[in-house]
Chains A and B, each alone.
Chain A
Amino acid sequence: MSASQSAVRSRAEAVKVSRTFDWLIMFTLFFVILGGYHVHFMLVAGDWDFWSDWKDRRLWVTVLPIMGITFPAAVQAVLWWRYRIPFGATISVMGLLFGEWVNRYFNFWGWTYFPINFVFPSQLIPGAIVLDVVLLVSGSMQLTAVIGGLGFGLLFYPGNWPVMAPLHLPVEYNGMMMTLADLSGYHYVRTGMPEYIRMVEKGTLRTFGKDVAPVSAFFSGFVSIIVYFLWHFFGRWFGSTAFTKGS
């Protein structure tokens, strides 16, 4: 076979090779995104995602979607503009969640024995699906950023509330009131993490009474819109092909 001949000899063979290629790329893509996104997320969202006693109504709700929309926006840009594939955001957050679970199970529980109910990750899948579908239906980056980005921020808290609510039951402990999440943080000793490092319930959002989570979610959604634009362009640039002129 010469270099100019095709590697496949029939349409059926071409389809088969193409499908094999699909699975190989999907597998590789999943783990490459997982690696990059996971490192990014641990660095920028870190403790807010590691510990249940950091998952508050203000900063957890605000920080995680803003830091979480980055890779979905970039991967979405590559997959949509180059392939018209509308699952870039979903595959990104699923890669992240898989990586987070491996980390939490083997590192936090397997090595250091923190209970899983104290160190489970947050999940971003509902927001990612909405982000993908808005792009699919509209085909517009602007609409995806505005509607999808806002949705990404807004859906984060309610999407995680079913697993968080049981940890916010109040308990009286030696004359002080805490939530079960606070108590986990107090009981399960983190030698390198004194209590004052915990950034929870800080800020000036005091005029909304107890209903600060929706306000934080809206704020998070607004900033997610801006971050979406930025990272979408990163993705567009990363996914572009450039040719240089030979001398």
Chain B
Amino acid sequence: MKLIKDGIAKLSFVALLVTVTAAMFYAPTASAHGEKSQAAFMRMRTIHWYDLNWSKDIVPVNDTMTVTGKFHVFAGWPETVAKPEISFLNIGIPGPVFIRAGSWIGGQLVPRSVTLELGETYEFKVLLKARRPGDWHVHSMMNVKDGGPIIGPGKWVTITGSMSQFTNPITTLTGQTIDLENWNLGNIYFWHAFWYAFGIAYIAYWARKPVFVPRLIACEAGKHDTLISAMDKKVGIGFMVATLAIVAVTMESTNAQYPITTPLQAGLLRGMKPIEMPARTVAVKVDSATYRVPGRAMQMTLTVTNNGDSSVRLGEFMTASVRFLDPAVHEDDTGYPDDLLAEEGLTVSDNSPLAPGQTRTMEVTASDAAWEVYRLADLIYDPDSRFAGLLFFTDEAGNRQMVTIDAPLIPSFI
């Protein structure tokens, strides 16, 4: 029996060592931000990010890059998600690998939360300064209070160099130029060490004499009063007076050193300026929409009317940041992330130019593995089985016109 037990113990130990070693040699880094886990209807029917541009793919430490583009706040915002009355333009990166040097909506700096209007389209820009070397997935992102984060498309960006070279110089309104990366560090360390040493000194005074056993015996015997001497009380009062004096003096000296300080700034920014979109000349009605589960394809029957003065063709369908293109009409040259781009993913039954005044019923199919990879097919399990997205029509002059669509989606399992 003992032999068996010893054998199991040895084998367990070897197994533990193998596990630990394997974990040391294979420890993959987490990538991306769980955007695929977010409910599909939320990605499809809240914020539509488009015309995105990441200005650089490789950025040295201390250099800057921008993420720019537009976002449309969908008018058919789902009832189950709080409205974007208090929202914050964030950036989806793994912590402060970049610093956010600036962020703007419609030209207005937005370090605070903002109010967005349903149905409007806004231009945004985020300026990032590279801080920590590595390959990072950089997403556009909008946080909505009580609604959660609504993440946009992400692209891999590489930061080169060394973080030790990173600086963050700031000039205050009192005229000092400081490096925010390490400003005030010595002061913090000093005061925390000082008070810690002070606390240790206080405890050390009591710990130099027997602490627990004799005191417990004395207390159990009812001799509490013998344990605290007059000298103990005097020393205690000395510590208290010194504490009060140090706090008072340092408060005064700090105020003398920094006579001008201001409270933290907070508040909601209202009145964000949307883009003044040209009047839509293309009207689209969704007659039906089906998602064919085995084929990873969405089929829509659309009735499209061209009320403009130039013929148009359907070039793109975009939903949840996945773009389905008809290459005969539109090709992407912006460097949009490959995994979100179905370059030949859009098929239209008749995509010949739709003349002004003409109405046509089209069978449109958006198919790509992205439906599965980005878990958009999970829409059929959502509480509100509707889809939404943007259609982009291109006219003869190459101008693109955006039209939103929103309709129930029927799954097909065969």
Contact = CB atoms under 8 A, between A and B. Distances in A.
For B95, B210, B268, the residue with the greatest tally of chain A CB atoms inside 10 Å of its CB is B95
Contact of A112 (B95, B188, B251): B95
A198 B196 contact: no
A194 to B, nearest CB: 3
A83 B99 CA distance: 52
Given A168-B262, A180-B170, A189-B95, A129 B199 contact: yes
Contacts of B227: 83-84
Nearest to B90: A194
B274 to A, nearest CB: 20
Given A97-B192, A129-B240, A167-B184, A196 B263 contact: no
Interface in B244-297: 244, 246-248, 250-251, 253-255, 257-258, 260-266, 268
Contact of A172 (B97, B173, B250, B261): B173
A83 B240 contact: no
A116 interface: yes
B198 A129 contact: yes
B195 A195 contact: no
Interface string B192-207: 1001101110110011
B192 A177 contact: no
Contacts of B246: 126
A169 interface: yes
Contact of A165 (B196, B214, B258, B268): B258
Contacts of A161: 250-251, 254-255
Interface in A172-211: 172-184, 186-192, 194-196, 198, 200-202, 210
Interface stretch (B175-183, B348-356, B366-374): B175-183
For B87, B141, B182, B203, the residue with the greatest tally of chain A CB atoms inside 10 Å of its CB is B203
B170 to A, nearest CB: 6
A125 interface: yes
Interface residues of A, number: 84
Contacts of A56: 263-264
A133 interface: yes
B277 to A, nearest CB: 27
Given A87-B202, A129-B243, A191 B173 contact: no
B232 interface: yes
A87 B203 contact: yes
Contacts of A85: 206, 211-212, 215
A201 B233 contact: no
B404 to A, nearest CB: 25
A187 B215 contact: no
Contacts of B9: none
Given A15-B210, A158-B248, A196-B88, A163 B192 contact: yes
Given A94-B196, A125-B198, A169-B261, A82 B219 contact: yes
Interface of B: 33, 86-88, 90-102, 109, 111-113, 131-132, 141, 143, 145, 149, 163, 168, 170-174, 176, 178, 180-185, 187-188, 191-192, 195-196, 198-200, 202-203, 206-207, 210-216, 218-219, 224, 227-228, 232-233, 236-237, 239-240, 243-244, 246-248, 250-251, 253-255, 257-258, 260-266, 268
23 contacts: A56-B263, A86-B206, A113-B97, A113-B163, A123-B191, A125-B195, A125-B199, A126-B243, A126-B244, A126-B246, A130-B243, A173-B109, A173-B111, A176-B111, A177-B265, A179-B264, A180-B180, A187-B99, A189-B95, A189-B100, A190-B95, A191-B33, A191-B95
